[in-house]
Every structure is written in C-alpha cells, then in structure tokens.
Amino acid sequence: MKPRFKQSKEIKVGVVGYGGAFNMGRAHLQDMQRAGMTPRAVAEPDAARLAVAAKDFPGIQTFSSVTEMLAGSDVNLIVLITPHNTHAPLALQCLRAGRHVVCEKPFAITTAECDAMIAAAKKSGVMLSTYHNRHWDGSILKALEVVKSGVIGDVVRVECHMGGWGKPGDWWRSSKSISGGILYDWGVHVLEYTLQLVGSEVTEVTGFAKRGFWAAQSKWGKDTIEDEGFAVVRFKSSAWATLCISQIDANMKRGMVEVTGTKGTFLWEYDTHEIIVRDGDLTRVTKGRNPPTQWEKYYDNIAAHLTKGVPLVITPEWARRPIHILDLADRSASEGRTLKAKYG
C-alpha cells in the first residue's frame, strides 16, 4: 500500500464504540490526536456515551451506528472499540467501504474471520491493523532485552497464568458468545508477548476448558465463559508455551509470565520482574521494576505508515497469529484432540 496522506492531520479518525468501562474511545482519540491525526466522528448506539464523546471533543460528528457514520462522514481511518464478536463484521463493513481500519484487540474471534478481514483490506487497498498497545509494555520490552542479552540462555518454555478465584462479572466479557471465551481478553496480550519471545512458528495447539462451575450464578447462564481455559502451544523451534486463565484457581501461581531458558528464568508481574540464574551451586536473583510502557509508538507507527509508507509494526498477519492459537485452543478443547496450526 502506498502512502495515502501528505500529513498526519489529513487522517480523519472515526471511532466506533465509546464505552464507559475504561473510557477507551477517549484514550484512542487523544492518542491519535497526539500523533497528529484529526478526531472527526464517533459512532455509538448508547446516547449517554455519545453525549460524553461530544463533551470530550467539542464539534465532533456523532452517529448512532457505523452505517450512519460511513454514509454521513468523510472519516478515512476507523477505529473499532466494541465487544469482541462485533470486530469482524464491523471491520468488513468499513474495509469494503474503502476506509483504513484499526481494530481493538482481539483482532477477531476465529481464524476464518481474520482471513476474511485480511482479504477485504487487500481488495480495497487499505490498511488494517490491531491495537496491540501491549507490544510496547515495559515488561515485554525488558523481557526481550534480557532474552537478547543471553543471560537466561535459549528460551525453552513460556508460561502465562492469570486470574484467581471469583465469580465472572455481569459485563459482556463474561459472555462466551460475545467475548470469545475466558482466554480472549487478556490471553491475546500474553500470547502476543509469547510470540515475540519465541520468534518461531506455531505447529500445534492443545486446549482444555472447565465449564459450568460459575454458570448457575452468572447472569449469562449457559453462555457464561469457561471457569478456566488452558492451552499448550508447540513451536517449530521446539520451544513450548502454556496459557492458563482461571476464575477457579484459589492458589494462582506467582508471576504473570515466566520465561524459562537454558541458563535461567525471567519472571514478571505487570510492574516488576525477577531474573533468576544459576551460578554453579548458587542461585542469583535480581529484582527490578519494569521500564515505562511506550504505547504511543502504536499510533506514531500508524501515522508514519499512512503518510510516509513506514512498514506497519502490527500487521494483520501478525494480529492473526494469537487469534489462530486461541481459535485452535477453543476447538481443541471442544473436540478433545490436538490441532495443527496453519499459516496463511
């Protein structure tokens, strides 16, 4: 794709979804404004949230649906900040209308959706990316620095574990059909970390799921997310990774991600880390704080891509990779067998 704009301010942004859970619509528009782009429109069915958007960005165009926004606004980049099951249909609608698209994570729920989105972007000759802001989390930046330094040796295994014990909330994230399942919300972030750390293709995935413990107490009933989701990922390099996200684990393991190498381990929580290496009979532990996040790099890259043709960091093919793992893990858990990975 050739650069489309001479200057970043010509990138007129429309946001779809201006929800109140984390005020993500405002965060995206502010960040894009900082990167030089122009906030132009918001589409949101909830009138109260649309009023918040109009107050946050005086003069911004407001619409109650993406269909109205596509018909009534000259936005040329659309950002989707909506529940997970809407990402693929909304992206396809915007891509087919010839608009560039940034989709919040997860890119989509199934591999087939990712493939359809990538094909639609190619057909329309527009950009497609996913907001993997955590690609620039301080923790993964530090982990990559430590792995590249060789201090923990060759990466053998990456274990990601999150959650604890507690009833799923009433929000849409606890609905399996809307969110994709327990592994999708945070799992996509930690898998994206893992793919950076291992740097090798996935060959197969085995998934496990415990269902039904919380369902009777949840507003979502049978559609409640799994109590626990678990995946084992095998890489071509012979490394492997595990992902566990649980709401029934009263004794969740220490550390959000643990990278085991031939000479040592790098273990991190969101803000802190430990480097544990063997020195003869001694075990040396170095503790530290993770460097600051650099999330601003995401939209700096989008603006530079659309104005100067700088390569995209988060390509749609890259965004497809963690979704492929999640999709295989879900199907594997249902079918009770290991599934082979396929790269497009």
Give the nearer residue to ligand NAD in terms of CB position, either 81 or 146.
81
Q: By C-beta, is 13 or 90 nearer to ligand NAD? A: 90
Cβ-closest residue to ligand NAD?
19
Instruction: Count the neighbouring beta carbons within 10 Å of the beta carbon of residue 292.
Output: 10
Minimum CB separation of residue 67 from ligand NAD in Å reads 9
| Closer CB to ligand NAD, 89 or 153, in the complex | 89
- Find the shortest distance in angstroms from Cβ 266 to ligand NAD: 22
Contact 290, 138 (CB under 8 A): yes
Beta carbon of residue 192, minimum distance to ligand NAD (angstroms, whole number): 11
Name the residue among 334, 186, 337, 326 with its Cα closest to residue 247.
Answer: 186
From residue 344, how far is each of 44, 135, 324, 341 by CA, in Å? 33, 22, 10, 10
Tokens (6 digits) for 147:
């792995």
Tell me the two tokens of residue 55. Answer: 């107050």
CA nearest 12: which of 31, 39, 43? 39
* Closest approach of ligand NAD to the CB of residue 286, in Å: 28
Q: How far is the CB of 150 from ligand NAD (least distance, A)?
A: 31
CB of 149 to ligand NAD, least distance (A): 28
Instruction: Summarize as ranges the residues that interact with ligand NAD (CB under 6 A).
Output: 16-22, 24, 43-46, 49, 65-66, 81-84, 86, 90, 104-105, 131, 133, 185
Residue 253 CA to residue 257 CA, distance in Å, equals 10
- Smaller CB separation from ligand NAD, 141 or 151: 141
The distance of closest approach from Cβ of residue 23 to ligand NAD in the complex, given in angstroms and rounded to an integer, is 8
Give the integer Cα–Cα distance in Å for 137 and 291: 8
Q: Residue 12 or 26: which CB sits closer to ligand NAD? A: 26
Q: In the complex with ligand NAD, which residue's Cβ is closer, 82 or 247?
A: 82
Which conformational region is residue 59 in: left (phi greater than 0), alpha (psi within -120 to 50 degrees), or beta?
Answer: left
Q: Which residue has the tokens 């620095």?
A: 145
CB of 257 to ligand NAD, least distance (A): 16
CA atoms within 13 A on the CB side of 303: 20
- Cα–Cα separations (whole angstroms), residue 18 to 22, 263, 291, 342: 9, 47, 30, 35
Q: 77: buried, middle or exposed (CB in 10 Å: 19+, 13-18, 0-12)? A: buried
Reference 36, options 68, 59, 8, 61; nearest CA is 8
Cβ-based nearer residue to ligand NAD, 100 or 189: 189
Q: How far is the CB of 189 from ligand NAD (least distance, A)?
A: 8
Cβ closest to ligand NAD, residue 57 vs residue 131: 131
Beta carbons of 339 and 328 less than 8 angstroms apart: yes
- Quick one: 16 or 146, whose CB is closer to ligand NAD? 16
